[in-house]
Structure 1
Amino acid sequence: MEIVAVADLKIGMFVAEPDCAWTEFSFALQGFVISSPEQVEQFQQKCRFVYVDRSRSLNEFHLVKDYGRDYALRPPVDSGAVAEPEPPVRRRQPLFEMQADSDKRQQRRRRFLTFLQRQNDSEHSLALARELSYMEPRFDDLQNALQRSFQAVSLERSMDVGSVREGVRDMSGSLRRNPDALMWLLRLKRMDQYSFDHAMDVSVYLLMLGAHIGWRGLPLLELGMAGLLQDVGKTQVPVDILAKTEPLTPEERELVRSHVASSLELLCSQSHIPENVLLTIARHHERWDGSGYPRQLKLDELGLAAEMAGLVDSFCAMLKNKPYRSALGHQEALEELYKLRDHQFSPGLMEQFVQCVGLYPVGTLLELSSGEVGIVIQQNRVRRSRPRVLIMLDADKQEVRGYRVIDLNEPAHQACKVARALPHDAYGLASHDYYLG
C-alpha cells in the first residue's frame, strides 16, 4: 500500500482508503479504481492523502508482485533504450473451455433429458416435462449470453447486460413454476468448465433462497445477476495457483483474494450494471463474524444480499471437485455449513437456507429401506421425505438396466422409506453420470 497526496491522484489508481471516513463521500463502493476527473475532485475536496493499492491499479500505475520482485507495467520503451527483462509469465485462467456436444457424456445427458420430458404418469411428472420443454431453449440462450458477456468483459468491450438480465428473469419464473426443472437443466446442460458452471449454480441457488425468504421483482433479479457475475475476476488469477493442491503461500492467497477487486474493475467499466449488484459482488467474501475479506465487515455491515451470496457461493463450491479435495454430497455440504452458523453465517439465514434446499433435492443419492439405491428425480413439495426416485441398484447392489422410477408418495410404495442419504461416490456410482446409463 502506498500513500499518495490527493494532488497526485490520477485516473487508473486504485484507492483503498482515504484519510477520512468513506461516509464523507457519495461513492457507491468503498475501494475502487478512479475512472473520472469528478472522482479525483471529490477526493481533493474531502481529504489530504489516500492509500493506493498498486496491485489493483491499472495501466502505468499497476505494479505486479511476482516471486518477491515488483514489476511496474509501463508503456513500451523507446527503440533506442535498453529494455528491462520481462517478468515471468503466469498463464491466466481460460474463460470457458467448451466440450463438443457430440461426446458420450453429452449424449447420455441428452438421452436422460428426453426421458424426463416424456414422463406422463402423474401430474407432477407432466408439470416437470412441460417446464423442461419450455425452459430448455431459454436456458441455452442464457448460457450463450453469459459466455459472450464474460468474453466481452475480458476484452474490455461492452457486455450484453440486457440478455443476461432477461435470462435471470426467465430462471426466476421457472423456479416459481417448477423448481426441479431448472435444477435438472443445471445438471444436464453443464459446460464441464468450473467457473462457468459455478456461476450458473450460484445464480440459481441465490434465486431460490431469495424467493424463499420473500424477495420479489428487481431485488431478486439483481441478486441472481450478482451470482452470475461475482467471480468474473478469477479469470485474472493464474491457472497454476487455482489448480494448486498444496496450501497456498500468503502471497498466493492474496492473489486469489484479489479476484474481488478484479471483478469490480472489469464490471465498473460496463454501463447498466446496477449498484446493488456491484455492492453484493464487493462483499460476497465478507463473513458475519468479520473473518472474511477484503474489508472484514461483519453483522449488518454486510447487507443481506452479500451474506446470501457468500453462503450460496460456499455451498456450491463444496459440491464441486477441487484440486485440494473431493466434492461433498448435498447433506455433507449442509452439515459443514451448519457448523459455521453463529460464526461465518448468521443462524437465521442458515436455517432459512436449509429449509430452502430441502432434505432431498433432485440429484441426491439415496438408499431405501428395501436396500435399493436410487437418485431423486423429483421432490415432493408437501411430503419432503418421500421424493420420486430413479432406481439404479437393486437390493443386492446390482445395476438395474433401463429407467425404473418409483414415487414414494404413492400408496403402492408407502412401506418403502428413505433409509439414508448417500455420499455422491457411494457404491462407485460417481465415476460417471450414474443416472444416465
Structure 2
Amino acid sequence: MLKRINVQELTLGMHIDGFCGPWMDHPFWRNHFVLTDPLDIDRVLASDIRDVWIDTSKGLDVPPGTETVMQVETIQAVVQEILQAEAPARDTTPTSVAVEYARAAQICAKSKQAVIAMFQEARMGNTVNTELAHNLVNEVSDSVIRNPEAMISLARLKNADDYTYMHSVAVCALMISLARQLKLDEAQTRSLGLAGLLHDLGKAVMPMEVLNKPGKLTDAEFRIIQSHPVKGHRMLADKQAVDDIVLDVVLHHHEKMDGTGYPDRQKGNSISLFAKMGAICDVYDAITSNRPYKKGWDPSESLKKMAEWTNSHLDPQIFQAFVKSLGIYPTGSLVRLTSGRLGVVMEQCASSLLKPVVKVFYSTNSDMRIPPEVVDLSAPGCKEKITGREDPEFWRFKDLNELWSGMAQASW
C-alpha cells in the first residue's frame, strides 16, 4: 500500500517512495529508500517538501488512526502526482561533471518514474502523455548541455531489473549528445531526444516473462521481441502524437547496414540518419548495461566491439561522431597508465580524446591498492599516458563505479 503522509509523520523504518513537490526541491538524489538515519528526517523537515509517499509493503506504516493525505494501490497515481508538480526553471549554465552528478541523479530517478507511467499508459491502450515526455526531454537535454558526461554516465548505472525503463532514459541522453556532436538543429535534437525516450515503447505490450527472461530466447520468443518496433510505431502513429523523426527511429532502430535487421530489412543509405543514430545509441547502452541474463561490458571495451560492427551493422561515420561525443575511453573505463598504475576515467578532456581525467587507485608494480589520486592527463607537464584499457572482470574491483561517480550503485 502506498500512502501520502505529512512529513511530520515520518519515522525511522519507513520506506520513502516519492517526494511531493517540484523535482529539485527535495534534498536527496534518490527517491526510493528506507529511512535509517535520523539526519535524513531532519533534512526532509528542513526542506520545502510537505508531503511524501511511503510504501507500507517495504517499510513501517503510520500508527493506526493516523490521518493520511491519500492512499493508493498502484504507483501510477504516485507518478502522476509527482509529474504534475511544477517543473524547475530551465538552466543550461555549464557545470563540472562532479556538480552535475547530483542533478543528473535526481533527473534519472524522476525520469524512471515517468517512463514507468508512460509504459503503463501504453500497456492499457491509452495515449502517451507527450507533454510529459517533452518535459523529460527538456530535463535530460539541459543536463547534457550543462555537462554531457554526467547524465550519460549515471544512466548507465541502472539495476538489471530496471533496464527497460532506464534504457529509455539513457538512449534519450545519448541521442541528444550525438545530435549535438553532429551539429543538428535544435528542433531535430529535441525530436531525437524524444525518439530515444520512446524508442522501446512497444516493449510495454511484450509479455513480461519473455522481456525479462534470464536465459536465451527461443525462436518464437525472439519473434515476439522483434515485433516491438512495429507495435511502438503503431501506438504513436495511430494517436498522431509525435513527428516523423520519432516515428522513424521507433520503427527502424533495429535495422542494420547489411540489411539483416528488422522489421523492414532496410540496407545502407535506405536507413535514415536518425535511425542510424538510434541504432548506435541503443546498442551502446544495451551492451554496457547489466541485464537479467548478462553483466554489462566496460565502456571502452564496448566501443571497441562496436567498431568491429561498423559497415555490417552500424554506420561508420556516425559511429566516429559517437566516439567523439563519449571519448576514446568513456567515463567509467578502467585504464592502465605508463607508470603501471590503474585508474578509472572520471572526466573527458575537451582538447584531446586520449587525455581524460583519471582517478588512479592501484599499483600493478606493487600489486596493491594505493591512495586514490586524480590525474589530469592533459595538464602541462603531466608525463603519464594511457597505455591501454583493462578488463574489469579480470581485476574485479567492487568499488569501480563508486570511484568515478561517488555512488556505489544506482538507486533510481
> C-alpha deviations, 1:210-242, integer Å up to 9, x for none?
111111211111111111111122233334434
Aligned to 1:410: 379
Partner of residue 394 from structure 1, selected from 344, 363, 383: 363
Contact 1:142–1:163 (CA under 8 A) maintained in structure 2 = no
1:137-152 correspondence runs (5 A): 137-152=106-121
| TM-score, normalising length: structure 1 | 0.65
Structure 1: unaligned runs, 5 residues or longer: 1-97, 105-124
Partner of 1:384: 353
Q: Relative to 1, partners in 2 of residues 1:325 and 1:298: Cα closer, same or farther, differing over 3 Å?
A: same
Whether contact under 8 Å (1:425, 1:431) holds in the other structure is no
- Matched to 1:315, the amino acid is Y
User: Per the alignment, in what secondary structure is the counterpart of residue 367 of structure 1?
Assistant: strand
1:419 to 387, 395, 403: 387
Per-residue displacement from partner, 1:377-412 (whole Å, max 9, x unpaired)? Answer: 1111112222212233234342346x5322222346
For residues 33-69 of structure 1, give each alpha carbon's deviation from its aligned partner in whole angstroms, at most 9, with x where no partner exists. xxxxxxxxxxxxxxxxxxxxxxxxxxxxxxxxxxxxx
Paired position in structure 2 for 1:250:
219
Structure 2 equivalent of residue 229 of structure 1: 198
Q: CA deviation at 1:149?
A: 1.9
Residues 405 and 296 of structure 1, relative CA distance in 2, 3 Å threshold: same
Q: How big is the shift at 1:195?
A: 0.6
Amino acid of the residue matched to residue 390 of structure 2? L
Deviation at 1:252, TM superposition (A): 1.9
Q: Name the structure 1 match of 2:331.
A: 362
Change (3 A) 1:289 1:365: same
Aligned to 1:22: none
Distance of 2:263 and 2:147 partners within structure 1: 37
Question: What CA distance in whole angstroms lies between the structure 2 residues aligned with 1:400 and 1:354?
Answer: 31
Q: Is the counterpart of residue 153 in structure 1 residue 122 in structure 2?
A: yes
Query: CA offsets, 1:283-340, max 9 Å, x none?
Result: 1111222111111112232211111111221122111234554422223222222222
Q: Residue 275 of structure 2 corresponds to which residue in structure 1?
A: 306
Q: 1:214-363 maps to which residues of 2 (within 5 A)? A: 214-244=183-213, 247-270=216-239, 272-322=241-291, 325-363=294-332
Q: Deviation per CA, 1:399-434: give whole Å up to 9, x if none.
A: 346x5322222346x122212212232411157745
CA RMSD of aligned residues (A): 3.0
Tell me, in whole angstroms, the C-alpha distance in 1 between the residues paired with 2:110 and 2:32. Answer: 17
Contact 1:388 1:407 in 2 (8 A): yes
Amino acid in structure 1 at the alignment position of 2:317: G
Q: Is the 8 A contact 1:183 1:362 kept in 2?
A: no
Distance 1:244 1:423 in 2: 27
Q: Would the alpha carbon gap of residues 411 and 354 (structure 1) be closer, same or farther in structure 2, given more than 3 Å must change?
A: closer
Answer 1 or 2: higher relative contact order, Cα 8 Å, separation at least 6: 2
Contiguous gaps of at least 5 residues in structure 2: 1-29, 37-93
After superposition, the C-alpha distances for 1:74-125 in whole angstroms (9 at most, x for unaligned) are: xxxxxxxxxxxxxxxxxxxxxxxx9943499xxxxxxxxxxxxxxxxxxxx9
Tell me, what secondary structure is at the counterpart of 2:355?
Answer: coil
Equivalent of 1:372 in 307, 328, 341: 341
* 8 Å CA contact retained: 1:206, 1:224: yes
* Seq. identity, %: 25
Contact 1:373 1:397 (C-alpha < 8 Å) held by counterparts: no
Q: Is the CA contact (8 Å cut-off) linking 2:161 and 2:292 kept in structure 1?
A: no
Counterpart position of 1:101: 33
Alignment partner, residue 135 of structure 2: 166
Three-state SS of the structure 2 residue aligned to 1:285 is: coil
Pair member with larger Rg: 1
Match of 1:12 in 2: none
Letter in 2 for 1:399: R
Deviation for aligned residue 1:246:
5.3
Work out whether residues 287 and 297 of structure 1, in 8 Å CA contact, stay in contact via their aligned partners in 2: yes
The answer to whether the 8 Å contact 1:369/1:416 transfers is: yes
1:164-203 residue pairs with structure 2 within 5 A?
164-187=133-156, 193-203=162-172
Give the residue type in structure 1 aligned to 2:258.
D
Number of aligned residues? 318
- Structure 1 residues 300 and 192, CA gap change in structure 2 (3 angstroms): same
CA distance in 1, matches of 2:253, 2:156: 24
Distance 1:329 1:188, change over 3 A: closer
SS of residue matched to 2:343:
strand
Structure 1 counterpart of 2:80: none
The letter of the residue matching 1:273 is V
Task: State the distance in 2 between where 1:295 and 1:142 align.
Answer: 31
Contact 1:154 1:266 in 2 (8 A): no
